[in-house]
A = this chain, B = another copy of it.
Amino acid sequence: MTEYNAPITEMEFLIKDVFDLNSITALPGYEEATPDMVDAILEEAGKLGRDVIAPLAQASDEQGATWNDNEVTTSPGFKEAYAQFVEGGWNGIGFDPEYGGMGLPFVLSNAVSEIWNSSSIAFGLCPMLTGGAIEAMHHHASEEQKAIFLEKMVTGEWTGTMNLTEPSAGSDLAAVSAKAVPQDDGTYKITGQKIFITFGEHDMTENIIHLVLARTPDAPAGSRGISLFIVPKYLVNEDGSLGERNPAYCISIEHKLGIHGSPTATMSFEGATGYLVKEENKGLACMFTMMNNARLNVGNEGFAAAERAYQCALNYARERVQSPVIGSKDKTSVTIDKHPDVRRMLLTMKAKTEAARAISYFTARQQDIVAKTDDNDARATADALIQLLTPVVKAYSTDIGIEVANDGIQVHGGMGFIEESGAPQWLRDVRITAIYEGTNGIQANDLIGRKVGMNGGAYLDILLPMIKEDLAAAKAKGGVFTEMAEAIEVGLNNTEKATAWLLESFKEDPKQAATGSVHYLRLLGNLCGGWLLTKSALIAQAKLDANEGNPAFMKAKINTARFFAEQIMPTSSALKAIFTKGYNAVLECEDDWL
């Protein structure tokens, strides 16, 4: 079993120094998020993660959730750990105080989520899904509905689920076919099957609140005919006590590559009572509220898993002795972290993880500005950045999670293939993150379409000047900072060229750009990662100059940024070339050439 220690120094550095916590604390409603509060929260979450949740990860992999006769028993220790999680008030830290939350900013709750996800993605999924349901209900449910359900979901006493997918309606929600028949009392009877429902059934709480997409009898075809319903596992009496069992059953759970601790349910709604959210046929809009946040949260899982895989590999590499260093006169065997190829792998893992984390924290900050600022321009800017970066956070970060976990196995050598080492689990667990909440290909199409191609690159016109400003500062600094800035600038130029081509070609035939949309997303992700690591390195140097903070940490930030500039950024020219010129053989490929 491998330990997990939350990277609290890094988290605090990002939240306070790189992303200017003071400017968030200054927003109305976030006054309590002082530097001391941030330290205290991260410290305590780190302890719960390290001592309670992370030790369950491997056992939950070996003994996943089990199904029997419509009931699900979660992995050993999950129920107790969840109770401790609820008792500590952790579920509500980011939610509205009106419903029992702490109302802390997303820059902080996002870091706390990282701790849960690094500890165990399977465990972290339960509050993540509850959070999505809270979000949707907070924005769209009636006051009466909120009064009944919301507080217990915010505390975590009840959990929530999202019931979107059906056997023949995965990414394409227009094909949803579950039925909702209106009843005389204003409720609806929901009938249909939903698949891939995370924590759709479990034994950790008394009640589960399902949010379900379904169609009313007269609904128009396609995505405009979908409505959203609240379908509790147990109906709730007027006094708040639990009433009768709603016929919403988990009829099986999936046998999956990873996240065995997270039950993935097939739900059968058999005339279950549902309460309409908002109006009929407005379901998709309600769901989008929760999907945007869900995408940021899945991105969080990506780098959180990468962090765990990195810690696991680093610990192994620091202990495993094998062979002398190449070209060294000293023929004594050394720990493998000293071998150049292994050191490169470790730095690759670290640099990618920190790049993806920085983009996520940057985007979380924009969420906070949108939520609380009274400056309309600032809100519009922040909102544009969220729109643009949500697919990047989701896809770039989860691709990186897979790559880093895969490298982590390689660092372990033969032990990396042995389950007891822990290394394979992080790859198996994180693999789903590139698929659910919209596959990474769908994210890439969202990026080239809605987020860039269809608005003439307006969101990029907000982001790129911010990057240029920071690069100018790095360039002026000299030495490695100038080198880094120049490497990132190559990425910037390639992004600008790729974008110009995208805007042109998209008008004529979006298929060309869709062929290589993942390459464009990667190009933009690397640019943002390289930019924020360089920005972090500049701030770390300022800290060193001022004798502030942990010098080894600050030097590491500079070295990691340099590594990213040296080993990752040079791919940008290739990505641009493949994106803008690589579509012919795909588009001209006949069916029988595959």
Binding site for B on A (CB under 8 A): 165, 168, 170-172, 175, 195-196, 254-258, 314, 321-323, 325-327, 333, 337, 339-347, 350, 402, 406, 409-410, 413-414, 416-420, 424, 427-428, 431-432, 434-436, 439-441, 444-445, 449, 509-511, 514-518, 552, 555-556, 559-560, 562-563, 566-567, 570-574, 577-578, 581-594
Contact = CB atoms under 8 A, between A and B. Distances in A.
Contacts of A195: 414
A7 B591 CA distance: 17
Given A413-B435, A574-B570, A347 B418 contact: no
Contacts of A341: 441, 444-445, 514-515, 517-518
B510 A327 contact: yes
A343 B333 CA distance: 48
A326 B583 CA distance: 14
A344 B586 contact: yes
Contacts of A555: 590, 593
The dominant DSSP class at the A interface is: helix
Contacts of A413: 170-171, 435, 439
Q: How many copies does the complex hold?
A: 2
Nearest to A572: B574
28 contacts: A165-B414, A168-B321, A172-B323, A256-B418, A257-B409, A326-B511, A327-B509, A341-B518, A343-B589, A344-B515, A344-B586, A347-B586, A410-B439, A410-B441, A413-B439, A414-B436, A428-B428, A516-B567, A552-B590, A556-B592, A559-B590, A559-B593, A562-B585, A563-B589, A566-B584, A570-B578, A570-B582, A573-B574
A559 B588 contact: yes
Contacts of A444: 341
Contacts of A594: 314, 337, 343, 346-347, 350, 556
A14 B350 CA distance: 42
Contacts of A417: 254, 256-258, 431-432, 435
Given A257-B424, A402-B406, A435 B416 contact: yes
Q: Which 5 A-B pairs have CB atoms at the shortest separation, nearest pair first?
A: A563-B585, A556-B593, A327-B510, A257-B424, A341-B441
A58 to B, nearest CB: 12
A302 B343 CA distance: 25
A444 B419 CA distance: 26
Contacts of A587: 340
